[in-house]
């Protein structure tokens, strides 16, 4: 099983000896003779198998006393695809840790969000990942510190605070322990090949190749809400609501990485902003596993061979996506954008964007709590659906965060008036991140099925699609791509 790959010594050794980049992030290789840990694709000569040790996380390797390799920078690999595929306790916990829950509220906050005791969470994470939530959050803070050291002119005191360390001493000790360099030495080592973006940060977001940017960025641009999102100079830009303030991000697809330019009101939000951008673009997916399975269907194989590596365009905010899904019920993409834009102008928080045309943050559920239904240019039934959603998000909190229980969220959504399979599965696919969400009633899916000689009735198509599991969200992207809709193409 891939979810226990670090325990399959023979397979790990083969991956390291072939420098197979597909397994970067799946496991980490520690070398007992040098005291470093690496990604599988490290360019240095592979060590002897007898000297290799394998760990499921960088935090586990660090706890075992190994430091990060200076050549392959294992702390900068794509994350394990498990944490976007799994709906169990460990998968949910990892998504919440990446979203800053431990840094902002401690392990108690993490356990509360998951609905388990602190002891249960600690035990399960240690059993699977070799490290508890504090160690996993510490590894994330170390990576944030490295980014700030290498890409900004901030003082080390400011870097320490921004990365979430409790003291300058803890910051210095952690950087030395993990990178075998002092913060100053780390900055000097990279000074000639990195630069800061005026007023912000420029970060490289790695991914597993291949990646098809067409539907990913095309979808985000074509459905973008004016004032909240825009396509400008070859980049998708949008506003972000973060724990300590707001931010603006520009994401630009490049051949071997995504360039991420961030402007943050509070630098402490950097790790959360990066995690949300990675989630938005589905960058931790394993396209080889997805495409290999979907290609076994003769109807999908030509689509995959033509443009492999399609990702699922997701979201930076679950409640935002849910509101937008309701506004998009039974209307065109342009009409949905118009409805959302009116909502933003009336209830969104204004921000300033000196680099482009962004003007607002999308309104929170709390900001919509006093919404007057009569002010909405929507059918009466749609107004009732939107108000019911807002009430569910505010009074009896409906969890649509990265750590949500997918099936529990589906049950809550189905119980709301006006929430049918199309709306629920759209939210499951893009807000909850379920890789196996499927929308057989979608008009685009029906048209694609007909053109590919697949069954067109929802029941028959769902039965046929069982062979695509657990990747039906990705199959949906390939089916949608058979149309000429703007969501399938990068803007000019």
Residue 3 per-residue DSSP state: G
Ramachandran quadrant class, 233 (left: phi over 0; alpha: psi -120 to 50; beta: rest): left
Token pair for 273? 């902003």
Task: Tell me if 476 sits within 8 A of 445, measured CB to CB.
Answer: yes
**Residue among 222, 177, 424, 422 nearest 336 (CA):** 222
Q: Is 12 a catalytic residue?
A: no
* DSSP tally for the chain: helices H, then strands E: 22, 11
Q: How far is CA 71 from CA 13, 41, 75, 481, in A?
A: 19, 11, 11, 39
CA distance 322 to 159: 35
Angle, vertex CA 237, rays to CA 306 and CA 220, nearest 5: 40
Catalytic residue among 12, 38, 212, 260: 38
Greatest alpha-carbon span in the chain: 71
CA distance 465 to 374: 41
Q: Are strands 67-68 and 36-38 parallel, antiparallel or unpaired?
A: parallel
Helix (H, G, I), strand (E, B) or coil at 347: helix
Q: Is 277 a catalytic residue?
A: no
Catalytic residue among 99, 261, 436, 442: 442
| H or E element, residue 201 | strand 201-205
The single residue listed with the structure tokens 């303030």 is: 245
Q: Are strands 67-68 and 52-55 parallel, antiparallel or unpaired?
A: unpaired
Task: Tell me if 488 sits within 8 A of 476, measured CB to CB.
Answer: no
End-to-end CA distance of the chain: 43
CA distance 396 to 248: 30
Residue 29 backbone phi and psi in degrees, to 5: -105, 120
**Residue among 296, 346, 322, 291 nearest 478 (CA):** 291
CA distance 451 to 289: 26
Residue 237 per-residue DSSP state: E
Task: Tell me if 100 sits within 8 A of 109, measured CB to CB.
Answer: no
Q: Which residues pair with 260 in a beta bridge?
A: 203, 251
Helix (H, G, I), strand (E, B) or coil at 197: strand
Contacts for 303 with CB less than 8 Å, ≥ 6 apart: 478, 479, 481, 482
Token pair for 164? 């979430």
Residues with active-site annotation: 38, 442
């Amino acid at each position: 099983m891939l979810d226990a790959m670090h325990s399959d010594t023979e397979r790990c050794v083969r991956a390291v000896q072939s420098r197979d980049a597909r397994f970067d992030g799946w496991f980490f290789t520690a070398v007992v003779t040098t005291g470093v840990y690496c990604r599988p694709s490290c360019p240095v000569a592979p060590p002897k198998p007898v000297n290799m040790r394998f760990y499921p996380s960088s935090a586990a390797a660090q706890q075992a006393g190994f430091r990060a390799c200076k050549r392959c920078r294992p702390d900068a690999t794509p994350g394990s695809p498990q944490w976007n595929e799994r709906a169990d306790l460990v998968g949910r916990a990892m998504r919440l840790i990446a979203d800053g829950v431990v840094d902002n509220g401690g392990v108690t906050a993490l356990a509360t969000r998951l609905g388990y005791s602190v002891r249960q969470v600690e035990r399960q994470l240690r059993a699977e990942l070799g490290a508890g939530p504090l160690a996993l959050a510490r590894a994330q803070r170390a990576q944030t510190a490295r980014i700030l050291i290498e890409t900004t002119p901030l003082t080390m005191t400011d870097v320490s605070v921004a990365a979430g360390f409790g003291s300058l001493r803890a910051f210095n000790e952690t950087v030395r322990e993990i990178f075998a360099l002092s913060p100053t030495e780390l900055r000097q080592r990279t000074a000639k090949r990195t630069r800061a973006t005026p007023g912000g940060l420029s970060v490289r977001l790695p991914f597993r190749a291949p990646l098809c940017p067409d539907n990913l960025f095309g979808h985000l641009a074509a459905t973008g809400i004016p004032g909240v999102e825009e396509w400008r100079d070859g980049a998708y830009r949008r506003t972000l609501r973060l724990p300590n303030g707001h931010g603006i991000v520009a994401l630009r697809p490049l051949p071997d990485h995504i360039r991420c330019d961030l402007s943050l009101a509070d630098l402490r939000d950097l790790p959360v902003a990066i995690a949300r951008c990675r989630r938005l673009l589905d960058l931790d997916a394993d396209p080889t596993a997805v495409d290999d399975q979907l290609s076994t269907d003769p109807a999908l194989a030509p689509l995959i061979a033509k443009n492999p590596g399609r990702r699922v365009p997701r979201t930076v905010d679950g409640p935002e996506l849910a509101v937008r899904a309701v506004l998009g019920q039974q209307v065109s993409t342009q009409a949905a954008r118009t409805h959302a834009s009116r909502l933003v102008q009336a209830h969104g928080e204004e921000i300033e964007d000196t680099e482009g045309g962004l003007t607002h943050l999308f309104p929170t559920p709390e900001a919509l709590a006093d919404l007057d239904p009569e002010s909405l240019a929507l059918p009466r039934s749609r107004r009732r659906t939107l108000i019911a959603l807002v009430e569910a998000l505010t009074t009896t909190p409906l969890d649509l965060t990265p750590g949500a229980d997918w099936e529990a969220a589906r049950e809550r959504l189905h119980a709301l008036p006006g929430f049918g399979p199309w709306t629920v599965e759209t939210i499951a696919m893009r807000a909850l991140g379920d890789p196996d969400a499927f929308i057989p009633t979608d008009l685009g899916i029906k048209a694609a099925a007909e053109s590919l000689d697949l069954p067109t009735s929802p029941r028959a198509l769902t039965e046929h699609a069982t062979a695509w599991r657990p990747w039906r969200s990705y199959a949906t992207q390939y089916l949608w791509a058979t149309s000429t809709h703007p969501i399938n193409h990068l803007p000019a």
